[in-house]
Amino acid sequence: MRILTIDLGTSATKAALWSEDGPLAMGRATVDVEHPRPGWVEQDPETWWSSTLDACAQLPKDERAQVDAVGFSSQRDTFVPVTTAGEPVGRAIASADRRAGEMVAGLGRDFQVLTGVVPDAGTVAAKVAWIRRHEPDRLNGGQRWIMGPRDLVAFRLTGRGVTDTSVASRTGLLALDGAGLDGAELLPEVVGPATVVGDVLAPMATSLGVRAGTPVVTGAGDWACELLGVAATTARPMVSWGSIAGVSVPVGHVPPPDPGIVVSRGALGGYVMEADLSMAGSALAWLGRLTGRRPDDLAHEADDVDAGAAGLLALAWLGGARAPWWEARTGLTFAGLTPQHTAAHLARALVEGVAFDAARCLDRAAPDAVELSLAGGGASMPLWRRVLSGVANRPVAARTHGEAASVGAAIITARALGSQLDPDRLDPVGVRERPFDSDVVAYGDLRMRHEMVARATISALAGG
């Protein structure tokens, strides 16, 4: 079996060819993110298609011509209105966009209970409400959908407009039971992730380098795919580090509402408890630009700094505090900064700040976890592995190839074809690390101090 997966991420699109034994080839193309105004984050939706073609073009032609199916993983909460012919109407509003803060109150007091989604400026429902108020022509006439990156690319490949349950359940336009709410009419047809939505059309086959008539499988949102890719369970929840960080726990039923936790549909059944943290990789990249260093170099230098960053604490809330706090009026804050602190200390404190919030979310969503399954680019970063294991006082496991979203997309695609793929064959665990006793002791004390600073800062900056 040969499967082509396309992972449409926030900053890059990745294409990968898979056999039952693992990856055969991978390609990657950058996707630009634009900030036209403070708090606005946009993308040119045409780059979703062009980056797909660029990433696939890096794969061997003969292998592409033999694939049995195409499947997807995709970023979520990013969308653009499109015509029923699939033409984008304006710029795409990215997941990190915060322009819709004024619309959050209008979502209602029971919004999270009904939808499982935390009412926040990044919620699709709030962004749709913002467009209706400020740019109504983009949605007028009932002849348009809203589509995310995967939805638009799949539409161009097959001519059929769909989205999947894992992505749709994150929008706030559907109830947890799938019933449509205000704005649900803007969604294309909602299908299961392991659905063959159509075949690659002949003109598109030429562009992609696959055979005309190759089946196209819907796939799922990136975190839902990653959960499959790292074989996460309730006992081994997933902690991801990408542009943002997050904690994800697969569960078999809808859990009781928690003000800090989002609930979405799983890729192959069940539900997912999700805690979307603030910016992680993006924050380290920001620090790199500020200090003139590459993020990888900062992380390497910070690995030589002792736990606690010489008394420096960071509230890693660039763009506002998210899980478990959900206070948009705050920002990235360093506490205890002295002339002796260096860029390495800043980086160390920033990573520790992300880990403290991750640990808080684990306490709420997976208190009985015995090991943490790592996903995202941070899984290959020794600093993140050591800090997280020390803060959470649990072992961590990272996979060899580190492409959990693509692995999950391959598993879903195979399921749609009636086959099973084993994540441990596709991408076996390459690193298991236990926490250092000294780190556990140090971070136990530091976490209490971090909690006090966090609560005082939220109270002060939010006007409490």
Q: Is 223 inside a domain boundary?
A: no
Q: What is the mean pLDDT of residues 384-402?
A: 96
| pLDDT at residue number 257 | 85
Q: What pLDDT, in 10s, does the model give residues 148-164?
A: 999 999 999 999 999 99
| pLDDT at residue number 243 | 87
At position 280, the amino acid (one-letter code) is A
Q: How many degrees, rounded to 5, is the angle at CA 13 between CA 11 and CA 17?
A: 150
Q: Which is it for strands 69-74 and 220-221: parallel, antiparallel or unpaired? A: parallel
pLDDT greater than 90 at residue 23: yes
Enter the pTM of the model. Answer: 0.94
Lookup result for tokens 């997976």: 366
Residues 380 and 322 in one domain: yes
| pLDDT at residue number 140 | 81
User: In whole angstroms, what is the distance from residue 6 CA to residue 200 CA?
Assistant: 14
Q: Is 15 inside a domain boundary?
A: yes
| pLDDT at residue number 144 | 87
| pLDDT at residue number 463 | 59
- Comparing CA positions, the residue from 268, 270, 221 lying closest to residue 246 is 221
Residues 348 and 442 in one domain: yes
Q: Is 280 inside a domain boundary?
A: yes
143 or 281: whose pLDDT is higher? 281
pLDDT greater than 60 at residue 270: yes
pLDDT greater than 70 at residue 143: no
pLDDT greater than 70 at residue 2: yes
What DSSP designation does 377 have? G
- In Å, what is the CA distance from 345 to each residue of 289, 332, 333, 389? 16, 15, 14, 19
Q: Which is it for strands 396-399 and 372-375: parallel, antiparallel or unpaired? A: parallel
Band of residue 263 on the pLDDT scale cut at 50, 70, 90:
very high
The token pair at 283 is: 């924050």
Q: Is 224 inside a domain boundary?
A: no
Residues 178 and 153 in one domain: yes
Residues 200 and 236 in one domain: no
User: In whole angstroms, what is the distance from residue 98 CA to residue 443 CA?
Assistant: 32
Residues 202 and 298 in one domain: no
- In Å, what is the CA distance from 2 to each residue of 31, 70, 148, 182, 410? 26, 9, 26, 41, 9
Give 136's contacts (C-beta < 8 A, 6+ positions apart): none
Q: The domain spanning residue 138 has which CATH number?
A: 3.30.420.40
What DSSP designation does 79 have? B
Residues 34 and 85 in one domain: yes
pLDDT greater than 80 at residue 464: no
- In Å, what is the CA distance from 268 to each residue of 220, 221, 239, 265, 409? 9, 12, 19, 9, 11
User: In whole angstroms, what is the distance from residue 354 CA to residue 319 CA?
Assistant: 13
Residues 158 and 247 in one domain: no
Last residue of one domain, picked from the residues 218, 246, 268: 218
Q: What is the mean pLDDT of the chain?
A: 95
| Number of compact structural domains in the chain | 2
- Comparing CA positions, the residue from 224, 278, 211, 274 lying closest to residue 64 is 211
CB 66 within 8 Å of CB 127: no
pLDDT greater than 90 at residue 259: no
Residues 95 and 184 in one domain: yes
pLDDT greater than 70 at residue 141: no
CB 161 within 8 Å of CB 189: yes
Last residue of one domain, picked from the residues 159, 185, 218: 218
Q: Is 96 inside a domain boundary?
A: yes
Last residue of one domain, picked from the residues 167, 189, 218: 218
Q: Is 117 inside a domain boundary?
A: yes
Residues 122 and 257 in one domain: no
Q: What is the mean pLDDT of residues 303-312?
A: 96
Q: What is the mean pLDDT of residues 86-101?
A: 94
User: In whole angstroms, what is the distance from residue 332 CA to residue 350 CA?
Assistant: 9
CB 353 within 8 Å of CB 313: yes
Domain that holds residue 407: 229-461
CB 413 within 8 Å of CB 217: yes
Residues 289 and 432 in one domain: yes
Q: What pLDDT, in 10s, does the model give residues 199-235?
A: 999 999 999 999 999 999 999 999 999 999 999 999 9
Residues 408 and 451 in one domain: yes
Gyration radius of the chain over CA positions: 21
Band of residue 403 on the pLDDT scale cut at 50, 70, 90:
very high
| pLDDT at residue number 461 | 72
Residues 233 and 211 in one domain: no
Q: What pLDDT, in 10s, does the model give residues 41-76?
A: 999 999 999 999 999 999 999 999 999 999 999 999
